[in-house]
Amino acid sequence: MADNLQGQKILLCVGGGIAAYKALEVVRRLREAGAEVQVAMTAGAQQFVTPLSFQALSGNPTRSSLWDSAAEASMGHIELARWADRILIAPATADLLARLAQGQADDLVTTLCLATTAPITVAPAMSHRMWLHAATQANIATLRGRGVQVVGPEDGPLAEGESGPGRLSEPETLVAALSSTQPPQAVASDGALKGLRVVVSAGPTYEDLDPVRYLGNRSSGKMGFAVAASAARRGADVTLVAGPVTLATPAGVKRVDVRSAAQMHQAVFAALPADIYIGAAAVADYTPRLPAANKIKKSNETLALDLMRTPDILAEVAAQTQSLKLVVGFAAETENVAGYARGKLVAKHLDLIVANRVGVADGGFESDQNAMTAYWPDGERVFTPGAKTRLADELIDLIVERLNA
Catalytic residue list: 217
Residue type, 16: G
Distance of CA 49 to the CA centre of its chain: 28
Integer CA distances (angstroms), 199 to 211, 253, 285, in order: 31, 10, 21
- In this structure, are residues 230 and 240 in contact, taking their beta carbons and an 8 Å threshold? no
Q: Residue 218, Cβ neighbours under 10 Å: how many? A: 12
- In 3D, which of 5, 11, 17 has the Cα closest to residue 153? 17
The angle at the Cα of 147, spanning 141 to 148, to the nearest 5 degrees, equals 70
405 vs 401: CA distance, rounded Å: 6
Handedness of CA 311, 313, 317, 318 (dihedral sign): negative
Q: Which residues of 4-15 are buried (b: 16+ CB within 10 A; e: fewer)?
A: bbeebbbbbbbb
> Cα(209)–Cα(89) distance, rounded to whole angstroms?
33
Angle (nearest 5°) at CA 3 between 397 and 242: 45
* Length of the chain, in residues: 405
Classify 307 as helix, strand or coil.
strand
- Strands 326-333 and 120-124, sheet pairing: unpaired
Taking the C-alpha atoms of 266, 271, 274 and 276 in order, what is their torsion angle to the nearest 10 degrees? -70
d(CA 38, CA 73): 19
Give CA–CA dist 115/118, Å, rounded.
Answer: 9
* Partners of 352 in beta bridges: 328
Side chain identity at 230, as an amino acid letter? Answer: S
Concatenated DSSP letters of 71-134: GGGGTHHHHHHHH-SEEEEEEE-HHHHHHHHHT--SSHHHHHHHH--S-EEEEE-S-HHHHHSH
